[in-house]
Amino acid sequence: MLVVAHHAGLRIPLQRGALAALVPVRLLRALIYNGYEAVMVFFVISGFLITTTALRRWETLAQIDLRAFYARRFARIVPCLALLVAVLSVLHLSGAHDYVISKPGQSLFRAILSAAFLHLNWYEGRTGYLPGGWDVLWSLSIEEAFYLAFPIVCLVLRRTWLLAPALGLLALSLPVARAALAENEVWMEKAYLPGMAAIAAGVLGALAVARWPDPPRWVSLTLGVAGTAGVLAVLLVEDVLWPVLGNGTVLFLTTSAVCLVAACHVRGARGEERALRGTGWLQSFGRLSYEVYLTHMFVVFAVVGVWRSRGSDLRYGFVWYVPIVCLAWALGALVARFVSIPAERALRLRLVSRTGPSVRA
C-alpha cells in the first residue's frame, strides 16, 4: 500500500491539496513518501516468511532440498515476471508514453537482460532510473539473488550456530553499506547489500522464533509494542531520527520490523492474534502483494493520465487515490486469478515432488 501511494504521491502530492487543511502534513508525507522504507520492511517479512516455511517443510535449514526450493521460487516468481517483461517490451516498441526506454546508455535489450538475470538494480545504478514499470523490478533482483545463494549457504554451514552469526553480520552491515554508497544516490537505494541485510534480519527473526517458539506473554507483547513503535517512528518522524541515527535509521526500521513480525507470529501460533474488523481488504493486499507490486504502475500511469487530462487540479488530487488503490488491487487480483495461481500450480506439479505441505511463499 505504501509503495502504491508513493508512486501516486510523486505525481499527485497530497500535501499540496485541500486535504492538507484537515490532516497534518507530516501524516500526508508519511503516506506518500515511504516507498523505500516499505520495501525494506517487505524484505524483512520475506526473509521471515521464506525461512519459516522452509523450517516447516524440512525441519531444519540443513535439510533444504535445493531442487524443490528453487522449483518453488521459479513457479512463484517467473510467470508474472515473464508476462510483465513481455507487456513492457510491447509498450516500449509501440512508443507508448511512460513506457519508452530512452535514456542514454539504456536499451530494451539490456533492460530485459537485467530483469531476467537479476541485476536490474545494478543496471539502474549505472545508467539511471528506468521507466516506472521496469523500475519496480529492482527489489526483485535483490530478493531473488539472495534466495539463489540462501539454500546453498544453509547446506554448506549446516549449523545454526554458524549460520546465525553470518546472517547477523550481514544484517548489521546495512548502515555501513549505505554510507559507503552515498556518492551514488540510485545505487545506495538499490544496491544488493542493504536489501540483503534486511532479508537476513527477517531470516534471523524466524530462526529465533523457531528456537524459542513459546516465550512468555510479556516478551511477545514487548516485542510487538517495541516493533510497532519503531516502525511508526521511522514512517512518521524519520526526519527527526535521521540527524541522530544517520543510516542507522534504516537498521532501526528493519530491527523494529523483525520484532513486530516475530510478535505477530508467536501470538498467531497461540491463537491470540485476531484481525481487526474492517481490515480484510488490507489483508487481501498482503496476499496479492507480488501481483500488485509488479502491475500497479500500469494503474498509476493510467489514472494520473486521466487526472492530467482533467486539468491536474491539486486541490482535489487526493480523490484520485481511491481509483488508484482500488484498480491496483483489482489488476493484481486478476493477474493472480488467471496467471500466477494457475501457472504456479502447473509448474509445481511438473517441477516439485508432491510431498510436504503446499505453502505459497
Summarize pLDDT for 173-198 with one digit per residue, the tens. Answer: 999 999 999 889 899 999 999 999 99
| 357 domain residue, yes or no | no
Report yes or no on 339 lying in a domain. no
340 within a domain of the structure (yes/no): no
| Contact between residue 350 and residue 41 where contact means Cβ atoms under 8 Å apart | no
The DSSP output letter for 117 is T
Q: Which domain holds residue 168?
A: 38-274
* pTM for the model: 0.94
Residue 223, in any domain of the structure: yes
Which parts of 247-288 fold into alpha helices (H)?
248-269, 280-287
CB 10 within 8 A of CB 301: no
Give a yes or no: residue 23 inside a domain. no
Profile the chain (361 residues) by mean pLDDT over runs of 10 residues: 96 94 93 96 97 95 95 96 98 97 96 97 96 97 97 94 96 96 91 97 97 93 97 96 96 98 92 82 93 98 97 94 97 97 94 56 50
**∠ CA 206-211-212, rounded to 5°:** 95
Q: What is the pLDDT of residue 209?
A: 96
From the number of C-beta atoms within 10 Å of its C-beta (0-12, 13-18, 19+), residue 108 rates as middle
Query: For residue 114, is it within any domain?
Result: yes
Residue 209 grid coordinates: 522464533
Q: Using CA atoms, how far apart are residues 258 and 47, in angstroms rounded to an integer?
A: 10
Residue 10 lies in a domain: no
Show the CA angle centred on residue 143, arms to residues 139 and 144, nearest 5°: 120
Asked if the structure places residue 151 within a domain, the reply is yes
Q: How far apart are CA 84 and CA 298, in angstroms?
A: 10
Number of domain units in the chain = 1
